[in-house]
Chain A
């Protein structure tokens, strides 16, 4: 006979998930992380859609990372159809991806994760207990959203970035406004790092996992053409299918992905462990917090996101300055001649490695779509950590155990809408 502890629903995460812990007496026997988000069957929805419709539809997978889904989709479509974009267009895409990461990390750190450190049930409690901290986070978040709205025309499901270029360039006064807002918020990002650096890990160390991230010699941070693992393996993004096969599992609507047969962690912690290029202030924070970040378990992920908040603010600032200095270069959109082709692209979403891949027929209509999301990759490591934590906490009472299990899931910052419905055709 076994007892089951069920956490249903998982709260303060995006989407619908359940954790079930099966107990034999006091001993934790196994854990199931069920991502029960209702399947929206996105890949099937994309079949038969023209190439320019694909990014518009697919960004609806998830609101928290709609921008990076849209950009990754554009890159894959452009790779498939051989579309070149101007350097300005590339800069705008980098900028909006930084904006998306600022908003996503700030939402996760302040609205979803921080309440755990203040014995609060959520942002509403936090607003009563430490109003200034919540406001600090929301101020950072609003700058990420200002970028997304200015560049994308809308802050969720952005519309202004399209195959070959943009609908409309961002005006100089708007760029100056972004520059001012980013400069203002940089100290707040540093403060966020100091705050999260002051928190101790809630348990003894959990098992360590390998890390995986998108890398590229010449590309901007968060972009690249290779998948590198902390075991020293490196695979070109175009060969991702061999390296990251997916499996259907019985208790979850998301498929699991392993990298070269090994469970891996993706996300902010993985990026920092794999030596992502950091601008000066982020690098200083990273060096200060090095021992809490390098080779650690997932409890380090919140702090890693805080370091990345500084990074993305600095990167966005540099990109805006570049755009201001460059003057008004062309942003297209370039004329597109449909052709038969396949293309894939990988980008670092806030939660980690995101891959989009499409096939098009000679008229430019989609014949196959494949998307691998960070939460699907993290799923297996999450389950293993949940089990390790449950075993570690055998003497804990039920409420404490539930609280820590949920906190652990939150440390991964899962995005369950993304993980479900995105599976190979």
Chain B
């Protein structure tokens, strides 16, 4: 329990990014040995409310005053702030209907009681604080979490590829679901690193890792329209994990 002091916290999310760390079953005892967990409510009961941190690893988007309080506390204390998972980086699943009224969405569920909810439109971390590094995915890949932790021990950060899922998918020689099966696959737009998990089992890319660095959204949109999908359906699909696509963007 010596080594770099880190915090691991979840905001508005499913705890999947934190669970991904627990899912590194072989490496977890080693991680426990190499880091000092100053704040990790899901895993450890003793927490330090203040004091400097080497890195704060934050899962989830920001949708309540408590989320913001946690985020600002960690940002102030930490040398590095690392956004982990699609929600923290892009808004994620909770943000897919950010174009609709938050009040009405809440009323659909809680009725009259909705006015008591202290919640606002979910947003990614970078909307509120400076983010130093990101590990995307819903959930993130174990390997990328471990690569990040290992790099931290060596005082650096890893470099992840910026190319889209298609590159990895073609390397695996999967059947192309977009071209050969005319499915609404988002592979050409989406950040790789998952080794095309979904197309490898014949499931179209749902876009869970967010945009690749030079995502040619306009071309994908044209291609899908040509294939007969409606604009609403394409836009609805693209919004599932990231509500702010620029559909006219070309590279």
A binding-site residues for B, Cβ under 8 Å = 9-16, 36, 38-41, 43-45, 47, 49, 53, 56-57, 60-64, 66, 103, 107, 111-112, 115, 121-125, 127-128, 131, 134-135, 138-139, 141-142, 145, 153-157, 159-160, 162, 166-168, 248, 250, 253, 406, 417, 421, 423, 425
Contact = CB atoms under 8 A, between A and B. Distances in A.
Contact of B44 (A12, A49, A139, A167): A12
Contacts of B43: 12, 111-112, 122-124
B97 to A, nearest CB: 6
Given A60-B93, A167-B201, A250-B116, 10 more contacts: A11-B45, A39-B117, A66-B14, A107-B19, A122-B37, A128-B33, A153-B200, A159-B198, A168-B201, A248-B110
Nearest to A111: B22
Interface stretch (B62-70, B75-83, B155-163, B164-172): B62-70
Interface residues of B, number: 62
Contacts of A131: 29
A352 to B, nearest CB: 18
B138 A64 contact: no
Contacts of A127: 28-29, 32-33
Contacts, number: 183
Contacts of A122: 37, 40, 43-46
5 contacts: A38-B119, A49-B236, A60-B93, A153-B197, A168-B202
Contacts of B138: 60, 157
6 interchain residue pairs of minimum CB distance: A63-B16, A122-B44, A124-B32, A38-B12, A127-B32, A138-B25
Contact of B1 (A11, A112, A124, A166): A124
B14 to A, nearest CB: 5
A154 B111 CA distance: 36
B97 A44 contact: yes
A43 B15 contact: no
Interface of B: 1, 10-20, 22-23, 25-26, 28-29, 32-33, 35, 37, 40-47, 60, 63-64, 66-67, 93-94, 96-97, 105-106, 108-111, 113, 116-117, 119, 122, 138-139, 197-198, 200-203, 206, 208, 236, 240
B109 A159 contact: no
